[in-house]
Amino acid sequence: MALRSLIANKLRSFLTALGIVIGVASVISMISIGEGARKQTLETIAKFGTNIISVKPGQKKTRHVSTGKVTTLILEDAYSIDEHIEGITGVAPQTYQSAQLKYVNKNSNSTVRGTTSDYPRLANFEIGKGRFFNKEETRGAKRICVLGATVVKNLFEKEDPIGQFVKVDGDNFLVIGTMEPKGALSWWDPDDQIFVPITTAQKRLFGQKHVQSIDIQVENIDELETVKESITKLLRRRHNTREGKESDFYVSNSSQWLNSWGDAAKTFTFLLGGIAAISLMVGGIGIMNIMLVSVTERTREIGIRKAIGAKKREILEQFLIESILISFMGGGIGVVLGVGISKAVSKMGGWDTVISLQSILLAFGFSVAVGVFFGYYPANKASNLNPIEALRYE
Amino acid sequence: MSSMIKIENLGKTYNQGSIEVCALKEVNLEINPGEFVAIIGPSGSGKSTLMNLMGCLDQPTVGDYILENVNVKTLDPNKLAEIRNRRIGFVFQSFNLLPRATALENVELPLLYGRIPNSREIALKALEKVGLAERAKHRPNELSGGERQRVAIARAIVNNPAIILADEPTGNLDSTNGEEILRIFNDLNAEGVTIILITHEKEIADRTKRIIAMKDGKMVSDTPTNRASEC
């Protein structure tokens, strides 16, 4: 019965349901976009490893005002950490700068990262072709390099880069390997860099003695804090830092900002979901509005039904079912649309979306609840109509 | 034999804003099973109020209405709805069919509310009885006025009610169609259905067996017609 009256008012039912459709679709797509953003961020950050401790030079400060670069963190510090600290599985000192790369007639402005043989393992880089440089080559400051995937694409296109020479700031470097692509972050493309032995970078390219960062991989994540402490101790001793004086470096680990990033993304998801929920609410008010019009318009019909024996509950049910059906259909179409939007966004925007069953159930359940909540008042109004007055109504 | 309807000292007052309107007062009436009664009177005489009360659509302010030995005052709204569904059939001047439902669906409706099985076949039989079986799939706006009223009668009799209450059933019809409606009422009455017909036309009232005249909310006369001897 309820269905029949909905069919009789096709356009109206559709427009009413549209409010719910938009609400549900936006809840689902917004949450999936937010979740996707969160997942993607966490994944890319996790790619750099959560068991990595990073030592960076501190700020030179005069009366708490930073006045310049600290150059006390040197390669020997890294070797010393490797030698003396327990519970670590790799050390990768790094120094990096942007440099002009050239191959035949192609140019590229990329990051040149000087490092050691442990780096690919610590930074989760996979070797594509060829190989990474070894310890001896690092010691010997050889002019060899390994190219990131973006560099390969920019300089060589389809050509095989292994065995070719790339000019880095005018010097020829032999390509001995390439990296598998890692995927770009929004603010930085880790594939757009080349890797050279750190000694080569220091002596031949940048002309510096210090390193910009030392990454240390911890064997057991539970020992992270202990390892951090012993590294701090070791370096303070090596740098002759007196008791009570601030260190000229600082030690951090990636899981710290992994957490804060995750939290930020979660807030983002809640925000999007909240906005979408409001639109669902507006859809619900639309249902109530149209049901009230429907009750007034069908006053006479209600009178007839009551006169021939419809009970109060049966009238209530009829109108309630009508509004639930509208929101149910709206919810169904909304789910399809929402999933479609999420898929489209991930396809066209290259943005991962996570469609969780939870968000679908939440949106769908909420839409039906909206149908009941906003349908109840009009339905109750209909069921309380006085049959005599309803029959007299023109 | 106990009476079908027993009305004792019945009165109804409406509150219209601050003014109390007395629509019905001190009505005493008894109707036996199988009677064919006309209630006549000018507009405002209280005949519609009386019919609403007899149809359990309204509750009296004072007095008692005893329908089939049950005092209606003691019943809750759900029980009243059940009585309207099972024991009373309504026929209105303006037909009051559901516009979006077919003739058959309209006739079927009381059976659905009464949760009676095989409603489709029973409804079709009721339509056959008023000679409209072949119009079952038509909607009210595809039917003539006379046909619509016959659908309404089929709907009224589909639950085999004890009483049919007809409020000016011929008021919106031409004389040929009105005649047809009256013939159907006669046939139903011959089968033993109690019929109470409200009208303001003397000629129609004369076709019944008993005429109750109302004026200003009171019964002014209660007389059998010539046809009373027929049964």
For chain B, the structural domain boundaries read 32-61+69-230
- What residues of chain A lie within 8 A of the CB of B159, using their CB? 309
**pLDDT for res B13:** 87
- Cα-Cα-Cα-Cα torsion A266, A271, A277, A278, nearest 10 degrees, comes to 170
Q: Is the pLDDT of residue A201 over 60?
A: yes
**pLDDT for res A46:** 65
CB B113 within 8 A of CB A314: yes
Q: What share of chain A is helix, strand, coil (3-state, %, to 5)?
A: 55, 20, 25
How far, in Å, CA of A127 to CA of A165, rounded? 19
Angle at A303 between CA B170 and CA A374, to 5 degrees: 155
Q: Write out the DSSP string of A45-71.
A: HHHT-SSEEEEEE-EEEETTEEEEE--
CB B87 within 8 A of CB A315: no
Q: Is the pLDDT of residue A257 over 70?
A: no
Read off the pLDDT of each residue in A197-213 and give the average, rounded to a whole number: 89
Give the burial class of A231: count Cβ atoms within 10 A of its Cβ; 0-12 exposed, 13-18 middle, 19 or more buried.
buried
The pLDDT-based confidence of A196 (bands split at 50, 70, 90) is very high
Read off the pLDDT of each residue in B5-24 and give the average, rounded to a whole number: 85
Coil, strand or helix at A153: helix
**pLDDT for res B59:** 86
Q: Name residue A165's beta-bridge partners.
A: A174
* Residue from B79, B82, B84 to probe the interface with A (highest A Cβ count within 10 Å): B84
- What residues of chain A lie within 8 A of the CB of B86, using their CB? 309
Judging by DSSP bridges, how do beta strands B88-91 and B163-167 pair with one another? Answer: parallel
- What residues of chain A lie within 8 A of the CB of B126, using their CB? none
Task: List, for residues A157-190, the tens digit of each pLDDT value.
Answer: 888 889 999 999 888 999 999 998 877 666 678 8
Chain A residue with Cα closest to B107: A308
| Residue A158 CB neighbour total at 10 angstroms | 6
How far, in Å, CA of A379 to CA of A288, rounded? 9
The pLDDT-based confidence of B110 (bands split at 50, 70, 90) is very high
Judging by DSSP bridges, how do beta strands A193-197 and A106-115 pair with one another? Answer: parallel
**Which sign does the torsion angle of CA A362, A364, A366, A369 carry?**
negative
Tell me the residue length of chain A. Answer: 394
Q: Do B90 and A308 touch (CB under 8 A)?
A: yes
How far, in Å, CA of B116 to CA of B159, rounded? 9
Confirm or reject contact between B42 and chain A (CB < 8 A): no
Selecting from B58, B98, B112 the residue whose C-beta is nearest the C-beta of A304 gives B98
Query: Look-up: residue for tokens 């080349």?
Result: A194
| Residue B136 CB neighbour total at 10 angstroms | 20
Q: Do B101 and A4 touch (CB under 8 A)?
A: yes
Strands (DSSP E) contained in A198-326 are 213-218, 249-253
* Residue from A7, A308, A391, A392 to probe the interface with B (highest B Cβ count within 10 Å): A308
How far, in Å, CA of A138 to CA of A134, rounded? 6
- What residues of chain B lie within 8 A of the CB of A388, using their CB? 52, 57-58
Query: Look-up: residue for tokens 């009178």?
Result: A303
A269 phi, psi to nearest 5 deg: -60, -45
Q: Is the pLDDT of residue B231 over 60?
A: no
Read off the pLDDT of each residue in B43-56 and give the average, rounded to a whole number: 87
How far, in Å, CA of B104 to CA of B125, rounded? 10
Query: Look-up: residue for tokens 């950050």?
Result: A45
CA distance A323 to chain B (A): 19
**pLDDT for res B154:** 94
How far, in Å, CA of B35 to CA of B163, rounded? 9
How far, in Å, CA of A102 to CA of A155, rounded? 7
Q: Do A307 and B90 touch (CB under 8 A)?
A: yes
Q: Is the pLDDT of residue A68 over 70?
A: no
How far, in Å, CA of A52 to CA of A219, rounded? 9
What residue segments make up the domains of chain A, in order of their start? 2-44+259-392, 71-247
**pLDDT for res A54:** 87
CATH code of the region B32-61+69-230: 3.40.50.300
**pLDDT for res A49:** 63
How far, in Å, CA of B134 to CA of A112, rounded? 91
Q: Is the pLDDT of residue B197 over 90?
A: yes
Note which residues in 83-142 of chain B have CB less than 8 A from chain A. 84-86, 90, 92, 96-98, 100-101, 109-110, 112-114
**Mean predicted lDDT score pLDDT of chain A:** 84
Q: Is the pLDDT of residue B1 over 60?
A: no
Q: Do B57 and A387 touch (CB under 8 A)?
A: yes
Q: What is this model's ipTM?
A: 0.89
A97 phi, psi to nearest 5 deg: -155, 160
Task: List, for residues A215-245, the tens digit of each pLDDT value.
Answer: 898 887 778 888 888 999 888 888 888 888 8
Q: Name residue A178's beta-bridge partners.
A: A147
Chain B residue with Cα closest to A302: B98
Q: Range with the lowest mean pLDDT among A279-293, B162-176, B217-231?
A: B217-231
CA distance A336 to chain B (A): 31
- What residues of chain A lie within 8 A of the CB of B98, using their CB? 301, 304
Q: Is the pLDDT of residue A41 over 80?
A: no
Rg (CA), chain B: 17
